[in-house]
Amino acid sequence: MALEKVKQGVKGCSAMVVKIGGEDPRKIVHALKVGVAMAPVSLIYYFDLFHDGYSTGSGLYAMWAINTVAVVFEFSIGATIGKGVNRTFATLLGGALGVGAHSATSFAGNTSESIMLAFVIFFISGVATFGRFIPKLKARNDYFFLIIIVTFGLIAVCTYRGEKLIEMAEKRMFTVLVGYATVLVCCCICPCWAGQDLHTLVATNIHTLATFLEGFGGEYFGTGNKRHEMEGYRGVIDSKSIEESLVNFAKWEPRHGKFRYWHPWEHYLKIGRLTRECACKIDALNGCLNSDMKGSLEIREKVKGACTEMSRECSKALTEVAEGMKAMTRSTHADPHVKRAEAAVTNLKWVLQAPIWGDAHLLDLCPAATVASLLMQIVACTANVVDSV
Amino acid sequence: MALEKVKQGVKGCSAMVVKIGGEDPRKIVHALKVGVAMAPVSLIYYFDLFHDGYSTGSGLYAMWAINTVAVVFEFSIGATIGKGVNRTFATLLGGALGVGAHSATSFAGNTSESIMLAFVIFFISGVATFGRFIPKLKARNDYFFLIIIVTFGLIAVCTYRGEKLIEMAEKRMFTVLVGYATVLVCCCICPCWAGQDLHTLVATNIHTLATFLEGFGGEYFGTGNKRHEMEGYRGVIDSKSIEESLVNFAKWEPRHGKFRYWHPWEHYLKIGRLTRECACKIDALNGCLNSDMKGSLEIREKVKGACTEMSRECSKALTEVAEGMKAMTRSTHADPHVKRAEAAVTNLKWVLQAPIWGDAHLLDLCPAATVASLLMQIVACTANVVDSV
């Protein structure tokens, strides 16, 4: 019975590992990399290679190395570098402030020194905490402020003096460097670039919209059905926060692959915004697809040609853009498709202007008119996306 | 010159503080609370009140207290409790695993012990890192896995034995408890509840949609203009990630205000999803507002009555729901408005069916038809939101 449960548990776990690993094998590689980084760092201190006295109980430097590796080692290179840089500068600044506060107050008597120290700690912690609420700083430097608070508090109340303090700082710095070095080496094995991920994400999102539009004509005018793949656009609408964090990470990354150091990462936010706008219109279009009001067949037949053409050409244009992004080439193949989609819009307007609708009720025309005008909006959005890339 | 710059800097800073504080004064209160918590914790160790030998340089326990306060003290009670619980259990589990690994390998010779230890550290770190990728666990227990890695690595290579180890663990535990106690006391001054924030956010989002719909009739049919407040719905579309994190925090919170312990927090995600769906339709409607294709005046006059009614009644229904949520009462005042909006839909269908459109081109009808059918979709969405609350 218990054995049965254990078996089931193991089965469930391995299924999950296979699933997550199948979606993105780099996650398994990352877990292995963290393991590989932790083992030597721990052993350095186990063998007391740097004679810091950990094994005799008087020092605790091992903690700094282990902490550094565990905290700084993030999935993408950008996130790792960002955290490392923030941590380093915050430690230095916090430490300097701490030493400053300590020497400024140490001339006073014991009681007044402690009162002054308490006030300074209160002030610096408060200011640093408030800094975490400033939106721009929060996105990139949240960790910076956290480490300032920790380091400053620690150093300010530290009663070491002079040489002893410098010796301690040196040892700690060295330990942290050992941690950084290990992380850097392990990072270089199969690196995961946030910039690459961002690029792929934006391109994939555009491709997802193209998939919907490709299927839409056939679906709405009743000649095919590929519902399942078409629902993907919902994920596009929700992708803002992940795009923003990837942009923040990507900014830390050095030149890699086809991305230069000053790659315009902010620009992806603009493309992403336009893509999401387009996805919103597509959601409304999807509402028409699911609606039971489909209008008269006759009228749908009339607009079918132009609407299918608009949808198909937009899809082709977006596909070209997505493929071009993936290949990192500035493709001009999308433009003719946009042109053709715009021609289809003009064409549709002609069809709609011809006085052939005399008898029908507007209620029958309503669904077709809605689809037509949403598709016109989508053509405009597509043109924006194509222009922005 | 330099003085001028300093002056400008101070001005800029104070303007920012006033802006952020004006939006949410609790942020300033939180910064003060962190300062208040840090000062006594630091001084305890400055005066060596617990005789842990920090001032003589042989102990580093102060760090644990300062670290605990700085890391665990989050803005909302739920986030603070969540982090504290994760940290505590991760430390206990990591420590137990470390002691286990240490005693399991310590019978072997020095070299083989170190090889075994390295392998165990590699394995545990890898598994814990992988755990951070499991979506469900990542949302609630990311910090848990991080602390497991840190604690386990530290304890496994620790060469203290027996009594000394227990003494160390006891002291550290006590220090951490001092940190927790300070945080808890400070939390209780003007507490910020994630649950309350979530509730307000969802209600405000619904209210934002109501504001758009209230203005829409007047704006589209040209009798008023209140563009500025109407743009707020864009923020609603992007609110998914913040809602999700607030739900995760809220689950940790004890009974507070009108929220019981088993408050159905997950349900807010459903309301949020429906609200966002509605916001997407509103975005399409906004596209019609900005479009230069407005159709003939005559036709707009025909649909004006019903469309304005739909938009206004939906707005009233959503306002009732939002007000009801804010007051925590299950209001039935929204239902009549939904009924009236649905009656307006039927009415509109009648208007559209009347054969009075004989002469007009469909192109002229297109914009009005689109607005009408989007408003019908919005009525359906509104009914869903009202039902879900």
Q: Which pLDDT band holds residue B221 (cuts at 50, 70, 90)?
A: confident
Q: Give the tens place of pLDDT for each residue, A223-234.
A: 656 566 677 888
B296 is written with which tokens? 């003939």
ipTM: 0.83
Q: How far is CA A195 from CA A72, A242, A249, B133, in A?
A: 18, 12, 8, 19
Instruction: Enumerate the residues of chain A whose CB falls inside 8 A of the CB of residue B355.
Output: 361
Q: Give the tens place of pLDDT for each residue, B287-335.
A: 888 776 666 777 778 888 888 888 889 999 999 889 888 888 777 788 8
A59, pLDDT greater than 70: no
Q: CB–CB of A27/B130 below 8 Å?
A: yes
**Residues B45, B40: Cα–Cα separation, whole Å:** 9
Chain B contact present for A58, CB below 8 A = yes
Q: Percentage of residues in chain A with pLDDT exceeding 90?
A: 11
Q: Give the tens place of pLDDT for each residue, A100-118.
A: 887 888 777 777 888 888 8
Chosen from A48, A119, A244, A280 to mutate, greatest number of chain B CBs within 10 A: A280
pLDDT on residue B57: 42
For residue B347, the surrounding DSSP H or E stretch is helix B334-353
Closest residue, chain A, to B148 (C-alpha): A70
Give Cβ neighbours of residue A191 (< 8 Å, ≥ 6 apart). Answer: A77, A256
Mean pLDDT of B351-369: 70
**CB proximity under 8 Å: B 141-160 to A:** 146, 149-150, 153-154, 156-157, 159-160
Least trusted range by pLDDT, from A6-20, A142-156, B103-117: B103-117
**Residues B385, B314: Cα–Cα separation, whole Å:** 11
B74, pLDDT greater than 70: yes
Q: CB–CB of A33/A77 below 8 Å?
A: no
B243, pLDDT greater than 80: yes
**Residues B28, A129: Cα–Cα separation, whole Å:** 9
**Residues B185, B72: Cα–Cα separation, whole Å:** 13
pLDDT on residue B187: 82
Q: CB–CB of B293/B351 below 8 Å?
A: no
pLDDT on residue A255: 82
Q: Give the tens place of pLDDT for each residue, A196-253.
A: 899 999 999 999 999 888 888 888 887 656 566 677 888 888 888 899 999 999 888 8
A284 is written with which tokens? 């409304």
**Residues A85, A81: Cα–Cα separation, whole Å:** 6
Q: CB–CB of B132/A53 below 8 Å?
A: no
- Please give, rounded to a whole number of angstroms, the shortest distance from the CA of B7 to a CA of chain A: 19
| Model pTM score | 0.86
Least trusted range by pLDDT, from A41-55, A61-75, A360-374, B178-192: A41-55
Chain B contact present for A137, CB below 8 A = no
Q: CB–CB of A299/A347 below 8 Å?
A: no
Q: CB–CB of A43/B157 below 8 Å?
A: yes
- Please give, rounded to a whole number of angstroms, the shortest distance from the CA of A103 to a CA of chain B: 14
pLDDT on residue A371: 85
Which of A377, A383, A387, A352 has its CA nearest to residue A283?
A377
- Please state the separation of Cα B295 from the chain's center in Å: 42
Closest residue, chain A, to B39 (C-alpha): A118
Closest residue, chain B, to A110 (C-alpha): B47
Chain A contact present for B169, CB below 8 A = no
Residue with tokens 């990728």: B133
| B120-B123-B128-B134 Cα dihedral, nearest 10 degrees | -160
- Please give, rounded to a whole number of angstroms, the shortest distance from the CA of A71 to a CA of chain B: 7
pLDDT on residue B202: 92
Q: Return the amino acid letter for A222.
A: G
For residue B16, the surrounding DSSP H or E stretch is helix B2-23
Q: CB–CB of A389/A325 below 8 Å?
A: yes
Mean pLDDT of A22-41: 88
B54, pLDDT greater than 50: no
Q: Give the tens place of pLDDT for each residue, B87-113.
A: 999 988 988 888 888 788 877 777 788
Q: Which pLDDT band holds residue A9 (cuts at 50, 70, 90)?
A: confident
| CB–CB contact B363 A355 (8 Å) | no
**Residues B65, B50: Cα–Cα separation, whole Å:** 12
Q: Give the tens place of pLDDT for each residue, A313-335.
A: 899 999 988 988 888 877 778 88
Which of B93, B87, B88, B102 has its CA nearest to residue B155?
B102
Closest residue, chain B, to A55 (C-alpha): B159
HSE of B93, CA atoms in CB hemisphere, 13 A:
14
DSSP lists the bridge partners of residue A308 as none
B340, pLDDT greater than 70: yes
Please, what is the average pLDDT of chain B? Answer: 82
Chain B contact present for A129, CB below 8 A = yes
Say which residue, B261 or B388, is predicted with more confidence: B388
Please, what is the average pLDDT of chain A? Answer: 82
B326 is written with which tokens? 């804010």
pLDDT on residue B48: 65
Least trusted range by pLDDT, from A9-23, A199-213, A369-383, B103-117: B103-117
| CB–CB contact A367 B373 (8 Å) | yes
Residue with tokens 């993105």: A24
Q: Give the tens place of pLDDT for each residue, A248-279.
A: 998 888 888 778 777 888 889 999 999 998 89
Chain A contact present for B290, CB below 8 A = no
| CB–CB contact B366 A373 (8 Å) | yes
Q: CB–CB of B187/B66 below 8 Å?
A: no
DSSP lists the bridge partners of residue A256 as A259
B114 is written with which tokens? 């170190």
**Residues A244, B303: Cα–Cα separation, whole Å:** 42
- Please state the separation of Cα B317 from the chain's center in Å: 26
A356, pLDDT greater than 70: no
Give burial (CB, 10 Å; 0-12/13-18/19+) of A273.
middle
Q: Percentage of residues in chain A with pLDDT exceeding 70?
A: 89
Chain B contact present for A171, CB below 8 A = no
Residues B305, B306, B307: CA angle, nearest 5 degrees:
95
Measured in degrees and rounded to the nearest 5, phi and psi for residue B48 equal 55, 45
Least trusted range by pLDDT, from A279-288, B47-56, B169-178, B200-209: B47-56
CA torsion through residues B223, B227, B228, B230, sign: positive
Least trusted range by pLDDT, from A47-61, B129-143, B199-213: A47-61
Mean pLDDT of B135-155: 86
**Among A36, A126, A366, beta carbon nearest to B373:** A366
Q: CB–CB of B364/B299 below 8 Å?
A: yes
